[in-house]
């Protein structure tokens, strides 16, 4: 998750940032299974 969040910090726009944070959160939830 940390890598995905770090990548989101380099987003080119607010929409890109939100999308990458959403992906990071989804992958964090998937890691529980």
In terms of Cβ atoms closer than 10 Å to its own Cβ (0-12, 13-18, 19+), residue 9 is exposed
Q: How high is the pLDDT of residue 6?
A: 64
Segment 1-33, tens digit of pLDDT: 566 666 666 667 888 888 888 888 888 888 876
- In terms of pTM, does the model score above 0.75? no
Q: How high is the pLDDT of residue 22?
A: 87
Give the sign of the dihedral formed by CA 28, CA 2, CA 17, CA 11.
negative
Q: How high is the pLDDT of residue 25?
A: 87
SS3 for 3? helix
- CA gap 10, 6 in Å, rounded: 7
Residue labelled with tokens 């990458």: 20
Give the sign of the dihedral formed by CA 8, CA 12, CA 14, CA 18.
negative
């Amino acid at each position: 998750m940390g890598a995905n969040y770090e990548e989101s910090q380099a987003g080119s726009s607010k929409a890109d940032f939100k999308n990458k944070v959403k992906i990071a959160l989804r992958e964090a939830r998937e890691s529980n299974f």
